[in-house]
Amino acid sequence: MLRGAWTTVWLTAVSMALGLPLAVIVALGRASSFAPARAVTGFYVWLMRGTPLLVQLVIIYTGLPQLGLRLGVITAALTGLVLNEAAYLSEIVRAGVMSVPRGQTEAARALGMSPWRVFRVVVMPQALRVMVPPLGNSFNGLLKTTTLVSVISVEELLRRTQFAVQTDFRVLEGLTAAALYYLAMTTLWGFVQRWLEAKVGRGHAPRPGRRGGRKVLRLGPKPGPKAGSAAAEAPDLDLDRQLEMDNR
């Protein structure tokens, strides 16, 4: 079961690492002004999100060989996970990109930046603050979705558990142990996700003397010194000294 848990972890990590760049390409295609690109990427997202992952995995592993394309078990599993996950991640990426005010990109283009530099320097740093929490939740969900690849004989955690149950006939103990493995993995990922969120949003945390990360401004004239104070009795002091005494 420990070996199966390791297979689950690296399947999840590789699927996310390959799916995220594909999701960025799909998101940019959907936001493009080029109509064919919008049509192709829109059809891809519609197809992947509208059909179950289990059906996609079975088609890739058992259906494609009828067309002359035979994939190994691991390759078929990764292909199905990456294609399916990229469709969902593309919506997260698109929402993050659209959250950046259009005026900032227009200002960057007015400064002479290339479209790629605008995307890399202006858009992505701001979009990441919006994208990281849902991306972390997607990784958490993908960690548990890998149980579906057991249908095509990938020996991940659930499949290993099924082997143990068939050998010892202790169904409750085996499935409870598998559930604890998944709980431990998702809990550890929760700590990593919180660290990533804190790191990405570090520059926008509220500072002392601020409310919600914004300066507190005082409207209207600054109140004068109280009657009888040292500042009121010493009008000849310079302005800096008088303000210092007022602050005290």
Element (H, E) at 74: helix 73-98
The domain locations on the chain are: 2-205
Please say whether the beta carbons of 29 and 40 come within 8 A: yes
Tell me the whole-structure pTM to 2 decimals: 0.76
Q: What percent of the chain has pLDDT over 70?
A: 81
Q: What is the pLDDT of residue 81?
A: 95
Q: What is the pLDDT of residue 234?
A: 47
Longest dimension (CA), the chain: 98
Higher pLDDT, 108 or 245: 108
* pLDDT number for residue 33: 83
Does 1.10.3720.10 match the CATH number of domain 2-205? yes
- Do 123 and 99 meet the contact criterion of CB atoms below 8 Å apart? no
Each residue's pLDDT tens digit, 63-72: 999 988 999 9
Nearest of 113, 60, 116 to residue 83 by alpha carbon: 60
Tens of pLDDT, residue by residue over 66-123, are: 988 999 999 999 999 999 999 999 999 988 888 888 888 888 888 888 888 888 888 8
Among the ranges given (48-62, 163-177, 207-221), the one the predictor scored with the smallest mean pLDDT = 207-221
Q: What's the rounded Cα separation, in Å, for the pair 64 and 79?
A: 12
CA distance 15 to 10: 8
Show the tokens assigned to 161.
């558990």
pLDDT at residue 201 in the model: 72
Query: Is residue 50 classed exposed, middle or buried when 0-12, 13-18 and 19+ CB atoms within 10 A define those classes?
Result: exposed
Q: Is residue 214's pLDDT more than 60?
A: no
Block residue for tokens 């520059």: 203
Calculate the average pLDDT of the chain: 83
- Residue 211 backbone phi and psi in degrees, to 5: -120, 115
